[in-house]
Amino acid sequence: MSTLSLQTPRLRLRRARMDDLADIHAVLSDPLAMRYWSTLPHQTLAQSEDWLRAMVAADPALSDDFVIEFEGRVIGKAGCWRRPDIGYVLHSSHWRKGLGREALQAVISHLFAAHVGLQALRADVDPRNQASLGLLASLGFVETHRASRTWHIGDEWCDSVYLALPRDAWPARRCA
């Protein structure tokens, strides 16, 4: 992937590198951050290394993903592992500071600017994750439908709320 980076007032979003492993593992092994993720918290550094290696090697024709740097440390990730599906995770010690919103605003603006044919972004959220649903709603995402038992994580079935942000809804909300 390229060396593209995005700058916000407090964050730098950039392409992942293998030397991000320790910080990424801190995020992916955080039980609170991973509560509604698509996998259980990582138990080993090797799990996080495999995950990071896949992010670093992702095909740019399909993927447009960033790590989130705050005060020189990687604290999460935001972007599209596979366009148009957006995803993000932030270490729980950085919640409730507006950093997730700041990161997503930059990423969404980038995605729509860089991918002219991208007509909408999609998100799949566990309905119990009220914070994420609220954040996405504040950015203009609207619910399109719901489904039961869409993810089997560990020994638990999880449901999904599907949301979309059409391209034409974004400019009006960008500075909101």
d(CA 111, CA 47): 28
Domain ranges of the chain: 5-173
Write out pLDDT tens, residues 28-74: 999 999 999 999 999 999 999 999 999 999 999 999 999 999 999 99
Question: What is the per-residue pLDDT for 171?
Answer: 74
Question: Residue 114, exposed/middle/buried by CB under 10 A (0-12, 13-18, 19+)?
Answer: exposed
Start-to-end CA distance of the chain, whole Å, equals 31
Distance (Å, whole) CA 167 – CA 29: 34
Q: Which CATH superfamily is domain 5-173 in?
A: Gcn5-related N-acetyltransferase (GNAT) (3.40.630.30)
Integer Cα distance of 102 and 95 in angstroms: 12
The Cα 96–Cα 62 span in angstroms is 31
- Identify whether the C-beta of residue 153 lies closer than 8 Å to the C-beta of residue 112: no
Residue 2: per-residue pLDDT: 57
Residue-level pLDDT, tens digit, the chain, 176 residues = 457 899 999 999 999 999 999 999 999 999 999 999 999 999 999 999 999 999 999 999 999 999 999 999 999 999 999 999 999 999 999 999 999 999 999 999 999 999 999 999 999 999 999 999 999 999 999 999 999 999 999 999 999 999 999 999 997 455 44
